[in-house]
Structure 1
Amino acid sequence: MKKTRTKVANHVVIIASVGLLMLTLFPTMVRGECTCESDEEDRDKSLALKYKLGAIASILVASAIGVSFPVLGKSAVPALSPERNLFFIIKAFAAGVILSTGFIHVLPDAFESLTSPCLKENPWGKFPFSGFVAMVAAIATLIVDTCATSYFSSKSAAGAGAGKINSNDDNHGGTPSVENEEAALHVHAHGHVHAHVTSAEVDSSSELLRHRVISQVLELGIIVHSVIIGIAVGASESPQTIRPLVAALTFHQFFEGMGLGGCIAQAKFKTRAVALMAFFFSLTTPIGIAIGLGITNVYDENSPTALIVEGILNSASAGILIYMALVDLLAADFMNPRMQNNGKLQLGANVSLLLGAGCMSLLAKWA
């Protein structure tokens, strides 16, 4: 059953990825004739290459530390455990970072790309495609989130019930019978042995599965825009453009990694799965930079194809990040009875949220 749930989860992520990529096919058929020319000033390939290599190293380290901190910290520092109040405060900060990333960093870039003068006025200048794609991506994320959570919850409940019945049949040879409406399963076997799968156990399992869906969808949204950022940096030949981005993107990836790491910590994946998710997150931006380095001579950031693809993917990424931050991270925690009944925790979480959103918003001055 666990292997089946893992396969289905992987299929959900793959389908979502393919869906995002398909969004880029239609717009490229209606691109305009671009007469824009790239800025030839301030180009220095050798110096730019040094900055790019430094960016790969610093972003890789910052991403790895950021995503690993919530995961490893909970075992090394008991106060960082998901069951402690401090975890709620840290997660609120990370959610603020992710929310600001969607609104302040990714969505404006998408608007800039899809409203470029290098694109035809019709249709790009007559319809807000950036907002439309972001809305569609948010709705699609809701559908995937709902369907995946519902599917995994029903499978978990059925699997738990079957496991209890098989266990009692093998050990005692008895015939199970349902006797308690409040319990999901109540089995009587020889020797008065009882097996219960209560609604509380089902809810706990459903919550765990939901955290796993959240972490996977969130990583998908982060990876999309991280690769785009990396390609933009790697393809640039202007040291003046790259230099401020190195520090800004380093902090950006660190804070974003904390948000993703908090979700992974709550999902309670096995060590191998945690390592893979952290590994892919840490490598996405450096890989993007490497791709940008490889296509520097043929890549034109002002070409219609590049503008449309970047704009569509950034819009979709923004929709995913905004939805995840508001619905799956903030709403889920701030409406939690534990926070509702604790005034100090509410105050700390709100302040932490504002700090996270503020710090990431401030980085927009440089990145």
Structure 2
Amino acid sequence: MAEHLVSLKIGALFAVLIASIVGIMIPILRWRKESPNKSQSGSFWFYILRAYAAGVMLALAFVHIIADALATMDGLTGNFPIGSVFVMIGIMIMMVVERLSLDMGSLLTKNPVDLSSAECCDPGHNQHPNDVLKGPHQPANCPVHHCNAVSSPVSLGADYPAEVAHTPHSIDLHRVLPLGPVQDVGSSSDISTDDAKPKVMLGMLELGIVVHSVIIGMDLGVKTDKASAIVGLVIALCFHQFFEGLGLGACIASVMHDEESKVNWSKVMVMVAVFSLTFPFGGALGMISIAAESFHADNLFQPWLQGTLDAISGGVLVYLAFIHFISEDFNRKDVNSRENVGLRWLMILSVILGATCMSLLALQA
């Protein structure tokens, strides 16, 4: 590998590092003093940003990560679509890891779910006809009233009481809240998984990003052999890391002020460092691999390793984008109220815009 290409790649790694730091720090610094859930404008732009991040993640998964995985693993097992299988495995891994994390968190807190108290809450609370709708599994004589025993911050990085809280037996307690100040109406003292879920989702998101960032960094170090190709790839990767940093930073910002999550500034800086350094780390691994001549064109280990990690990472990102961004946000009662028609369409346009931006970057990659 030519010496000038080595210098160019090192400069490229630093450029992507700076883009990563800037992207992830913008939302963190924007909401450093208060949670984005505590102000009208903060909540509005927070939903818009999450919708944009969902579009970015979808395009990143389908256009960049999964497409590369399928191309890399094409022909390794004949006509069998092994790349698609690993994408499916990535989605299943997310389901299993999330469920295990929540169940283990519930056991560690030694605070089991009390189904009787969840089904029929204390009638001493103030009642409002529009606050809570009776769940389908509640007994007929259970009064409909204000209940703060069940709240579920199911949306990644957003510690707000969800409009549809799900217990293990599908007890649905609906609560309508106005968009804007998302207030804490009581911690989930009966369902201990609620406190763990935002942290689990944040960890899963960063895990998916970290894995494929290392792989993309290795792509820069291993595949590129022309200066012009390096420059074009770096431009695309700077945007790629910047957009991903915005999404991850927004998720961190929403939980860093939550006392239950215990995400202080030191932990925030660790997450920032992990996200920012994984791409340069992958690039360094790729350059070392080329220097050591450990990857050869006729060696099947490299396509299996790279294709498998790409496919699994793509599955993780698809799961996160659909389940914990699009599904959670677009099914909120306040978002679907008559007063927020404009917000809904702005969120849809944000998803389309994010997906379009990341898809166009594939032309340069």
- Same fold at TM > 0.5: yes
In structure 2, what is the Cα distance between the partners aligned to 1:156 and 1:242?
50
* CA apart distance, 1:88: 0.3
Q: In 2, distance between residues paired with 1:346 and 1:319? A: 26
* Counterpart Cα distance in 1 of 2:37 and 2:361: 26
Helix, strand or coil at the partner of 1:262: helix
How far apart are residue 91 of structure 1 and its match? 1.0
Conserved 8 A contact 1:107-1:315: yes
**How far has the Cα of 1:260 moved from its partner?**
1.4
Q: Are positions 1:284 and 2:266 aligned together?
A: no
Please say if 1:126 is aligned against 2:66: no
User: Compared with structure 1, are the counterparts of its residues 326 and 199 closer, same or farther at alpha carbon in structure 2 (3 Å cutoff)?
Assistant: closer
Code of the residue aligned with 1:95 in structure 2: it is A
1:1-367 equivalent positions in 2, closer than 5 A: 45-75=2-32, 84-115=43-74, 119=76, 124-153=77-106, 155-156=108-109, 158=111, 182-183=121-122, 198-200=149-151, 201-203=186-188, 206-235=193-222, 236-268=224-256, 269-297=263-291, 298-300=293-295, 302=297, 303-341=299-337, 342-367=340-365
1:277-320 deviation per Cα after TM superposition (whole angstroms, max 9, x unaligned): 11100000111111222222314363311011101110100000
Structure with bigger helix share is: 1
Native 8 Å contact 2:58 2:318 kept in 1 = yes
Find the aligned partners of 1:258 and 1:110 in 2 and give their Cα distance.
Answer: 25
Other-structure match for 2:141: none
Q: How does the TM-score come out when normalised to structure 2? A: 0.72
| Gapped regions of structure 2 (runs ≥ 5) | 126-146, 152-185, 257-262
> Matches of 2:273 and 2:359 in 1, distance apart?
26
Distance, in Å, in 1 between the alignment partners of 2:354 and 2:99 is 27
**RMSD, matched Cα:** 3.0
Moved more, 76-85 or 207-216: 76-85
Deviation for aligned residue 1:221 = 1.0
Q: Give the unaligned 5+ runs of structure 1.
A: 1-43, 162-177, 187-195
Deviation, structure 1 residue 223: 1.1
* Contact 1:156 1:202 (C-alpha < 8 Å) held by counterparts: no
Report deviation, 1:78.
Answer: 7.8
Contact 1:183 1:199 in 2 (8 A): no
The answer to whether the 8 Å contact 1:138/1:319 transfers is: yes
Pick the structure with greater CA Rg. Answer: 1
Amino acid at match of 1:253: Q
Task: Quote how far apart the aligned CAs of 1:267 are.
Answer: 2.8
Count of residue correspondences = 292
SS at match of 2:85: helix
TM-score (norm. length: structure 1): 0.72
User: Equivalents in 2 of 1:157, 1:274: separation in Å?
Assistant: 27
Identity %: 33
Change (3 A) 1:232 1:301: farther
CA contact (8 A) 1:136 1:319 kept: yes
Distance 1:318 1:301 in 2: 25
Cα distance change on mapping 1:339 and 1:197 into 2, 3 Å: closer
- Seen in structure 2, the aligned counterparts of structure 1 residues 319 and 125 have a Cα distance that, compared at 3 Å, is same
1:8-48 deviation digits (Å, cap 9, x = unpaired): xxxxxxxxxxxxxxxxxxxxxxxxxxxxxxxxxxxx61231
Tell me if the contact between 2:68 and 2:307 (Cα under 8 Å) persists in the aligned partners.
yes
Distance 1:202 1:348 in 2: 31
Structure 2 vs 1, CA of residues 274 and 183 (structure 1 numbering), >3 Å: closer, same or farther? farther
2:48–2:350 CA contact under 8 A, matched in 1:
yes
Deviates further, 312-321 or 331-340: 331-340
**Counterpart code for 1:144:** V
Q: Is the 8 A contact 1:97 1:357 kept in 2?
A: yes
Question: Deviations for 1:53-101, whole angstroms, at most 9, x for unmatched residues?
Answer: 2211111111111112222211369878686111000111011111111
| Residue 244 (structure 1) shift | 0.8
Alignment partner, residue 32 of structure 1 = none
